[in-house]
Structure 1
Amino acid sequence: MWEEVHGFVKENHMLEDGDYVLAGLSGGADSVCLLRYLLWVQKKIHIKIAAVHVNHQLRGSEAERDERFAGRFCEYWQIPFAAVKRDVAEESARLRCSLEEAGRLARYDCFDMFAGKWGCNKIAVAHHKNDLAETVLFRMARGTSLRGLAGIRPVTGNIIRPLLCLTREKICAILNDLGQEYVEDSTNMDDAYSRNFIRHRLLPDMRRVNPAAVEHLAHISRQAAEIMDYLEPAFQKIYEENVLWKEDCCLLPLEAAALMHPAELSETVRRMIAAMAGGQRDISAVHVEQVAGLFGKRPGKYLELPFGLTAERKCEGVALLRREAYLQSRKDARQKAEEEAVRPQRVDMERLEREGSYEIDFPGGGHISFRLEEFHGGDIEKNDCVKYFAYDRIKSTLCLRSRKTGDYFVVDKGGRHKSLRRYFIDEKIPAGERDAKILLTEGSHVLWVLGGRISEAYRVEPDTKTVLVVRAEDKIIKSNSVK
Structure 2
Amino acid sequence: MWEEVHGFVKENHMLEDGDYVLAGLSGGADSVCLLRYLLWAQKKIHIKIAAVHVNHQLRGSEAERDERFAGRFCEYWQIPFAAVKRDVAEESARRRCSLEEAGRLARYDCFDMFAGKWGCNKIAVAHHKNDLAETVLFRMARGTSLRGLAGIRPVTGNIIRPLLCLTREKICAILNDLGQEYVEDSTNMDDAYSRNFIRHRLLPDMRRVNPAAVEHLAHISRQAAEIMDYLEPAFQKIYEENVLWKEDCCLLPLEAAALMHPAELSETVRRMIAAMAGGQRDISAVHVEQVAGLFGKRPGKYLELPFGLTAERKCEGVALLRREAYLQSRKDARQKAEEEAVRPQRVDMERLEREGSYEIDFPGGGHISFRLEEFHGGDIEKNDCVKYFAYDRIKSTLCLRSRKTGDYFVVDKGGRHKSLRRYFIDEKIPAGERDAKILLTEGSHVLWVLGGRISEAYRVEPDTKTVLVVRAEDKIIKSNSVK
- Interval containing the TM-score (normalised by the shorter chain): over 0.9
CA contact (8 A) 1:101 1:281 kept: no
CA contact (8 A) 1:310 1:320 kept: yes
CA contact (8 A) 2:298 2:428 kept: no
Give the Cα–Cα distance (whole angstroms) in 1 for the partners of residues 59 and 404 of structure 2. Answer: 57
CA contact (8 A) 2:385 2:477 kept: yes
From the superposition, tell whether residues 390 and 135 of structure 1 become closer, same or farther in structure 2 (CA, over 3 Å): same
CA contact (8 A) 1:97 1:306 kept: no
* Offset of residue 45 of structure 1: 0.9
What are the superposed Cα offsets for residues 443-474 of structure 1, whole Å, 9 maximum, x if unpaired? Answer: 22222222222223222233222121222233
Give the Cα–Cα distance (whole angstroms) in 1 for the partners of residues 257 and 282 of structure 2. Answer: 24
Secondary structure, counterpart of 1:151 in structure 2: coil
* 1:68 corresponds to: 68
Q: Name the TM-score, length of structure 1 as normaliser.
A: 0.93
CA contact (8 A) 1:136 1:151 kept: yes
Secondary structure, counterpart of 1:250 in structure 2: strand
Secondary structure, counterpart of 1:208 in structure 2: helix
What are the superposed Cα offsets for residues 33-72 of structure 1, whole Å, 9 maximum, x if unpaired? Answer: 2122112212211112223333444444444443443344
Give the Cα–Cα distance (whole angstroms) in 1 for the partners of residues 263 and 337 of structure 2. Answer: 39
Secondary structure, counterpart of 1:267 in structure 2: helix
From the superposition, tell whether residues 68 and 228 of structure 1 become closer, same or farther in structure 2 (CA, over 3 Å): same
CA contact (8 A) 1:129 1:214 kept: yes
What are the superposed Cα offsets for residues 221-276 of structure 1, whole Å, 9 maximum, x if unpaired? Answer: 11222222222222222222222222111222222222222222222222221221
Q: Larger deviation: 257-266 or 85-94?
A: 85-94
Secondary structure, counterpart of 1:387 in structure 2: strand
* 1:264 corresponds to: 264
* Offset of residue 200 of structure 1: 0.5
* Offset of residue 5 of structure 1: 0.6
Give the Cα–Cα distance (whole angstroms) in 1 for the partners of residues 408 and 142 of structure 2. Answer: 44
Q: Larger deviation: 7-16 or 20-29?
A: 20-29
* Offset of residue 421 of structure 1: 2.3
CA contact (8 A) 1:353 1:372 kept: yes
What are the superposed Cα offsets for residues 318-359 of structure 1, whole Å, 9 maximum, x if unpaired? Answer: 221112212222222222222222222222222222222222
From the superposition, tell whether residues 416 and 169 of structure 1 become closer, same or farther in structure 2 (CA, over 3 Å): same
RMSD: 2.2
Secondary structure, counterpart of 1:236 in structure 2: helix
CA contact (8 A) 1:19 1:120 kept: yes
From the superposition, tell whether residues 475 and 194 of structure 1 become closer, same or farther in structure 2 (CA, over 3 Å): same
Q: Larger deviation: 300-309 or 214-223?
A: 300-309
From the superposition, tell whether residues 454 and 210 of structure 1 become closer, same or farther in structure 2 (CA, over 3 Å): same
- Runs of 5+ unmatched residues, structure 2: none
Give the Cα–Cα distance (whole angstroms) in 2 for the partners of residues 295 and 278 of structure 1. Answer: 23
Give the Cα–Cα distance (whole angstroms) in 2 for the partners of residues 430 and 63 of structure 1. Answer: 57
* 2:128 corresponds to: 128
From the superposition, tell whether residues 327 and 84 of structure 1 become closer, same or farther in structure 2 (CA, over 3 Å): farther
Give the Cα–Cα distance (whole angstroms) in 1 for the partners of residues 93 and 411 of structure 2. Answer: 51
Secondary structure, counterpart of 2:203 in structure 1: helix
From the superposition, tell whether residues 429 and 80 of structure 1 become closer, same or farther in structure 2 (CA, over 3 Å): farther
Secondary structure, counterpart of 1:182 in structure 2: coil
From the superposition, tell whether residues 192 and 379 of structure 1 become closer, same or farther in structure 2 (CA, over 3 Å): same
Secondary structure, counterpart of 2:235 in structure 1: helix
Q: How does 1:313-332 map to 2 (within 5 A)?
A: 313-332=313-332
Give the Cα–Cα distance (whole angstroms) in 2 for the partners of residues 323 and 186 of structure 1. Answer: 40
Q: Name the TM-score, length of structure 2 as normaliser.
A: 0.93
CA contact (8 A) 2:299 2:429 kept: no
* 2:9 corresponds to: 9
